[in-house]
Each structure stands twice: as C-alpha cells, then as structure tokens.
Structure 1
Amino acid sequence: MHYAGSFPTTRMRRNRQDAWTRALVAENALHVSDLIWPIFLTEGKGQRVEVPSMPGVFRVSTDVVAEHVAEAASLGIPAVALFPYTPMESRDEDGTEALDPDNLTCRAARALKAAHPGVGIIGDIALDTYTLHAHDGVVRNGEVHNEETVEALVTMSLNYAKAGVDVVAPSDMMDGRIGTIRRALDAEGLIHTRIMSYAAKYASGFYAPFRDAIGSLTGPDRTGPKDKKTYQMDPANTDEALREVALDLAEGADMVMVKPGLPYLDVVHRVRREFGAPTFVYQVSGEYSMLMAAIERGWLDHDRAMMESLMCFKRAGANGILTYFAVKAAKIIKAG
C-alpha cells in the first residue's frame, strides 16, 4: 500500500469521539464555586412567594431565608446576593428605609451569617428597591443627584457590613461612589469588607422581571422608570466600559461586574483581558425568564440550554456568575 504523498486528512472529530476524550481536551469547565445565587427577600413570616415573571424564583421572608439557602450551602455554592422587596408603605422619594440598620437586608444578613457562616453574603447597594420612583438614587429637580446619592450609599454600605454582609455591591452607577465607600469602610475598621462594583452596568431592556421581583414596576403602565440612561451605560459602548472598570479599580474595587450577561459577552472578555482583575457577570432576570419561557413551551431543553448559557460566561473569561439557575446548575455539576 502506498502512503507517500500529501499530508493525511486532518480529522478534528477524533478528539470528539468519546466522552472521556472530550473531557480531556475541554478548554473551559464550569464549577459550583463559579456560581452566586441571587435571593429575593420579603417582609412577613413563613413567606415563600413565587415571582410571577420568573418561574421557580421566590421571595422569602427572613425567618425562612436560612432554610431557603440550606440546599445551596450543602451543594457548595460559595455566595448568595440579597435583594429586598420593600413594601410600598415603607418607601419614599429618598429611599430612607435603605438607611435603617435593621431593614430587611440587614436582618436577612444576620440570619444567614448565624446559620451558614461559611456562605458569603453580597449586599446590593442602590436605592431603587427603596424609592417610590424606583430610580437608583435620590432625585432632585427631576435628576438623580450624584453626591447626595453617594452619601446614602455609604450609609447603606456601613450598615450592611456591620450586619454581616461580606461584599457590598454598588449597582447604582454613580460617579465616585467606590472610592467614597472604600474610605468610609476603612475609617470604620471594616477593612475586610469587599467591594464588588457593578462597573459596567448597561441601560438594558433585560431587567423587567427583576423590577417585578423587587416591586419597582412603578407607574400606571408598571414599566418602572422610563429612563436610567443618565447613569447606566449605553448598550452601544464597549470602550466606555473599560474606562468605568479602570476608575473603579483605581478607587478600590476588589471585584468588578458586567451586567447583563449574554448580550455583553464581548464586554466580559475585554474587561478580563485588559485588567486581569476578578471579573463577574450577572445573568439577569430577562435572560433567565427568556430561557424559562422557551423551556416551558418545550422549545428548549432545560438542562442543556441552562448549562450552555453558563459555559458561555466562563468561555468569555468570567471568574464567577450571578445566576438564578445556580442551585439547579450546581446539582448537575455535582452529579458529574
């Protein structure tokens, strides 16, 4: 038999032939330690209420939040992120409930830290869950006032840290807030409290189910604020995201986040390559609900679509993922 001549056919399929081979040559892997589980909180006792626009996602009261998180803790999910549903009667124009050291988030943090001391607690720092107008800051003369908002965020951060929150996560997109919060934490001796900055948070159309979950679909048409574009980023921009990240890291952020996730994989990739800093991504409510809507109609396979969407974030370079799928994904990962 004659073997001389041109090179043999390159067969890329050889390394796809068996499951063990595919595992050996896989370039990325998803681990339970990559997952952060967002939790919605509500007032009351014994409450576990499903969010209408987010199938399988619940608001829970502080007396059952530790039980709610127990499975996540047993699976090895390293952290949860807390978001309160503040009753309308506790909201006002300035979001003063956010400044109460015994508010819903602070009480939940204390309960979780007592029950699950090894689980990290991330506290959302913004006023949208506490204000009647649902903006992320204090509104003065029709505009979100930067400096007055930052003052409120500092108070929130200090209260949360003292209640047991390990990581404060400013999601407001005010200028200069990271440095101001870092200085305040250090001055209070809270030097181990980390800051996860929502550094590249876009003015996205994918947040509506989240606003449903936290009760911020305000106004007669229940759409929430018409315009957060004066502080959240333009979806057209990526260079601007790098400037935002650079500023927040220089001001003392320990970790940075890109939000939303799937529509902004290019931003995740650029941020991780440019800075090499711990980079997180939020698979937001609209992404979750969009997938779940197709899954419930039988158009997508739940586990395959879920795991593929999460792997995309790892491939883009994310160190960790905030996802409402965290517990379900962790079970699949654990099962091997």
Structure 2
Amino acid sequence: MMPADTNDLGRIKHLLLAVGSAHVTGVPLPASLSSTAGPGAGKGGSVFFSDGVSRVRLTLDENSPVHIENFGDSAVLTFDGPEGPVSVDGFVEKTGCHCPKQAYITINEGCIFSCRYCNVQNQDKHTKTPDEIVSLIKDACSRDTIECISLTSGVVGTMKEEDERLFAILEKIRVFGLPIGVSVYPTPGLSARLFEHGVSEVKFNLETATEKLFAEMCPGLDRNVLRDSLKEAVGFFGKNRVYTNIILGLGESKAEMKQCIMQCLENGIIPIIRPLTPSAELFDYPRPSAADILGFAEFLQSELPRFGLDPSKARTMCAKCMGCDLTPMTDLHAGEVAA
C-alpha cells in the first residue's frame, strides 16, 4: 500500500476532479449506482468517497489511475499525485437516491433539447409519476438517513405541462417534512409559485460563462430567461437559497469565468463551478485542469464574503452534496490546499 501522507480529501479534491474517475476493489459496491442526472448521466455508475468533511463523486472506471480499496466500514483512496503518492483514509458513502443523504430525483429522464455537453437527450424519455417519486423517496429513506428532497428534470413536453407535473409532485411529497430543492428550466413566475409551495431552494442553471457559449452549447434555450428567473428567485428565497451551475471547460477564458462569477454574486446568486464531464457531442473535450478547478474555487471563496453568501449553508441539491465540485467554505477549509 502507498504510504499515507497528511493530505485530507479537501486538499487534493481538485486533483481528483481533474481525473474524474476511480476503480474500486475490495468489498463490492451496490449493484445499482447509475444516475439519470448530473455529470455522467446514463453512464455505468459512480462512487462517493468521503473523509467525513469533504466528499467526491468519481465515475467508475477500471482503467482509472485513482484506486479506492473498500473495506466496508472504511476505505482508502490512493493515486500518484504531482508530488508523489497520495493516500487518504475515508469511507464509501451509501446513496439515498443519486447522492448521499438526499432523495435527489429526476422527474423526466429524457429531454427534447440538445445541449451539446449533455447525454440526457439520448436516454429513454421516461417520466416518473408522483406516486413513483413518493415510492423512491420512501425507498431512499429505508436505505439512508435522508436530510432533504431534491428534484430536477429534463423537458419532454410543453413548459406549462412541465410546471403542472412538478406542482403535482410537490403536493405529494410535502408529507415527508423535509427541505425541498428544485432545479428545472424556469418559466416566468415559477419562483413565486415554488416559494408558495414550500420549496426551500432553487437552482436554475446558466450553464455557460458567456451568452455566446450558451448559444453554441444550448440551442433552443434562452439564457436571458434563466438570468431573469435567478434574479426573481433571490427576491423570494433570499440569501444562500438561490444557486446556478456554471460549467468550467467549454472554451471560456479565465476573465469571462470570473466576470460571470461576479455577476452572479452581485445579484445574490451562488454559482457552482462545475468541471466539465466530457460527454455527448463534447466527448473529445479535455477535462478542466486541476489548477483551473482550484483557481476558480479560490477566487469564488475570496469573493463570497463580500456579498454575505455562503454555500455551506445549502440545505438541498448540489451545494449540499458537494460531490462533483470543489466547494468553497467546505473543501477549501478542510485543510491547507495542496499546491
């Protein structure tokens, strides 16, 4: 076994996200680890590794340079870092539904839109009924300690149909008494209705750092709608309750990414800087470098306090999970950042 060092997971997570995968040996993982949401949707599964403070989600790949030896109650992650062998003690986390401690559920598993980085449009367009979603939440609660419910969805019908489907589900899942987060393509006035229905947080994804990239990557969608909906949402949900994903690695410059981050913060929106998982039409794009992943996370962390924003206060969705992103206030405070 590689010798252990003093690195904890937060210090090396940017290196792991730049790889994006792991191979797991030892105690077998649960058979069903595939996901219909997030990075790697539709692929063969993923593993969540944690040291109790930070968490990272890695796609399962037998050829990955990252190795996780799973002992059941504990695990050891090892790989050759830029400064030599790295070993981190931790454990493989159970997943409630899609990620640990959450029932994170995709309503529509397909989509009529064709964002170039997304594989969801190539999946079967199955739509879960409200009763199916209640059943999934109950099942998740039986397997893990569920702290929240998070809903996301592709678009398979008209926007009005999607909204009504969502609200029918919200009526059904109130009985669980858990914080609810919603991440969908918004329509005018949606935030007000979500707030009235007791939703805790929303995440409407701007996806790209610039308008130009959005037009190239997300044909048929309107970034102005997303931007206006995010601003509107802050008025209803308040501080630390409105989020947006910005994908890192689509061709934006460093200056463009920083400008996008600042525009979000100035409007009370917390951006989640999501390293690109090459997929769909962008399967041959490189993953973002560890240096870029770390650099933008540090920039975001340095600016958040100026606006009184803190993603560690998230109650639902991606900012609570932290598996796919280097998260300010948590990962960067989990230990001294590695060079």
TM-score band, normalised by shorter chain: 0.3 to 0.5
TM-score normalised per structure 1:
0.48
TM-score normalised per structure 2:
0.47
Structure with more helix by fraction: 1
